[in-house]
Amino acid sequence: MRSSNRLIGLLATLVVPALLSAQTYPTAADPRTNLKPGRFDAGVAASNMRLVSFSPKPAQFDTVRGLTFINSDVAFGNGHYAYQGNFAGLTVWDVSNPAKPVVMSVVECITSQGDPTVYGNLLFMSAEGAGNRNDCGKGGVQDPKDHMAGVRIWDVSNPRAPKLIKNVQTCKGSHTHTIVPSPTNPKVVYIYVSGQQAARPETELAGCNNGTDPADPKNSLFQLDIIKVPVDHPEQAVVIPGARIFTGLDAAPECKTLCAPANTRRPPRDGRGGDSTNAVAIPVRTGPRNCHDVTAYPAMHLLAAACSSHSIMVDISNPEKPVRRSALTDTNNFQGRHTAGFSNDGKKIIMTDEWGGGTGPMCQAGSIMELGGNTIISLSADAKKQTQRAYFKLPAAQSAQENCVSHNGGLIPVPGRDLYVQGWYQGGVDIMDFTDANHPIEIGYFDRGSIDPPPPADSAKGIELPVAGGRSGGAASARIRGTIGGSWGAYYWNGHIYSSELDRGFDIYELTPSAHLSANEIAAAKLVQLKEYNPQSQPKFTWPAAFVVVRSYLDQLVRNGGLAADRTAAVSTALNAAEQKTGAARGAALTALAKQVDGYASGAKDAARVRMMADAIKQLAVSSK
């Protein structure tokens, strides 16, 4: 989400995006259309997934005062804990039983926007807002020396009582951050800090400097800040020279097609974020000066940086000296890159576009389909070339009361497929299949109706209207229209999907079989178990030898017609027979089947998938002997 100081005045006067010459939403009826509004009693539509549990916000955060108490991102660690960030602190959930998650602790600490990551017993939290204090207190910053902008480090070894270890101050604060483990020293991690604010005054933090030269090492802009953290002594964490991955980049070309309408309510770039008294005039024709989010793929030594106008690939083999490999921009709509993600094989990346900053209703029937969604990009083997492929946007129109745009997500570990689950704010949770980079499709979703009802037909445009049944906080116990809510991010972890709901609370889902996703594929995904998971530090998925893994490939070949029906039937019969055997007999049967399937690859419509199935059978044969 964009910084709170850019909050659109989303009251009863929600602005309908201009209808441009571009593809708009399909007119066919969809179960998500016209769902009943309501905070806790909204109508629901779901496909290929079901709600396992919903937990409301803890009382400490249950308020709708602007963005001050909204939930933000989630990290997962120590086997069965989910750490849910909030602009006002942190909630630690025990999700050992996903049907009944338990609040272990609620940490009150004003920390806009509070995105968390976990490494062992350390939790890192992004702090960017002007009201963050070193002591976590409320009431705003009265003395600049008390201002906290950077990354907070917590000890969460006791989930019932997280302990603040250190506030690491950075010049631009931290809108988001990403863990990059040292490839050579397991006792060191690096925190790559993202955020697009101007630098703080040097009178507040020594060494901060707003400059205009991207190559100037004294310039606090045009770099990702890096924090080096000794894991055993996190109190010694220190800011080191940043990642100057923007030097030499040209500015993005002017948008020519599918361009977003001008946002006259957004401040000019020279006044964006930070202390207005320290604003800096940035030349119009420069490349990006920072990124909104970056996603590391440590197994590939790569980092994908979503930097507004640019998609940047970075070599992080040496995390202290990252090197830019490629950059992509275009003359069409995609000028607001927000979040990045990799396919498991590292051959594709996703870039999301947070058109409207997360507070606007950008999924209405008249909204442009090519704005506010995902773009799929293919990578060359050396990551030195990026090729834009296709766009994907939530295919069901939402109401004018629902802030909706593409936001955070992660992969679902189904072998042989690239599935991405993500939050779309009040557009709900959606699952995209981008296995075919040129033709991404939706295969599942969960959506609620809007939090707020539409305004009465005779209401005056521009008037804030109270809503009956609102929460406490005013004489009329009323809630103002324009509640910002929905799924901040949705992530698959150890068999379930977890979603941080900005206004309502915390959702846990599970996948259900359908024509798009088989029971075998769901079972295979559950085989991937991670002790900890930080979505912006992407793990590489591997699967153990198992019959459901083989059958996942088989189901895919049946679904896409990639292998003749008589041959898929023969493989299924042989698998069933092998499963009835044990020990060496099973291994022999599987070895024979693998040889047979290798032969099927020649002439198959989907030969690559047939070979993947053969490899999975061989792995299973070895494990059976």
Q: Is 257 helix (H, G, I), strand (E, B) or coil?
A: coil
- CB contact set of 42 (below 8 Å; sequence gap of 6+): 35, 36, 448, 449, 450, 451
Q: Does some domain include residue 536?
A: no
Is 92 or 67 the better-scoring residue by pLDDT? 92
Please check whether residues 508 and 597 belong to one and the same domain.
no
Is residue 15 in a domain? yes
Q: Do 416 and 363 belong to one domain?
A: yes
Distance CA 294, CA 437 (A): 21
Give the alpha-carbon dihedral of 364, 365, 371, 374, to 10 degrees.
80
pLDDT above 70 coverage of the chain, percent: 86
Query: Which amino acid is present at 463?
Result: I
Average pLDDT of the residues in 457-477: 39
Does 10 share its domain with 123?
Answer: yes
Contact 432, 381 (CB under 8 A): no
Please report which confidence band the pLDDT of residue 594 belongs to, taking 50, 70 and 90 as the band edges. Answer: very high
Candidate from 7-11, 125-129, 141-145 with smallest mean pLDDT: 7-11
**Residue 66 and residue 56: Cα distance in Å, rounded?**
18
Strand partners, 108: 89
In this structure, the answer to whether residues 412 and 499 fall within a common structural domain is yes
For residues 172 and 141, what is the distance between their CA atoms, to the nearest angstrom?
16
Residues 407 and 494 reside in one and the same domain: yes
Do 472 and 600 have their domain in common? no
State whether 520 and 551 are in the same domain.
Answer: no
pLDDT level of residue 129 (50, 70, 90 thresholds): confident
Helix pair 519-526, 547-560: axis angle to 10 deg: 140
The answer to whether residues 339 and 296 belong to one domain is yes
Do 486 and 552 belong together in one domain? Answer: no
Q: Look at residue 538 and tell me if it is in a domain.
A: no
Residues 86, 163 within the same domain: yes
At residue 551, does pLDDT exceed 70?
yes
What are the pLDDT digits (tens) for 528-546?
999 999 999 999 999 999 9
Residue type, 428: G
Mean pLDDT of 179-201: 95
Split into its structural domains, the chain has a count of 2
Judged against a pLDDT cut of 80, whether residue 64 lies above it is answered with no
Q: Are strands 479-480 and 466-467 parallel, antiparallel or unpaired?
A: antiparallel
What is the pLDDT confidence band of residue 81, given thresholds at 50, 70 and 90? very high
- Residues 374, 516, single domain; the answer is yes
Domain CATH code at residue 25: 2.130.10.10
Print the domain residue range for 235. 4-526
Average pLDDT over residues 262-267: 48
Q: Does 485 fall in a domain?
A: yes
Q: Are residues 147 and 246 in the same domain?
A: yes
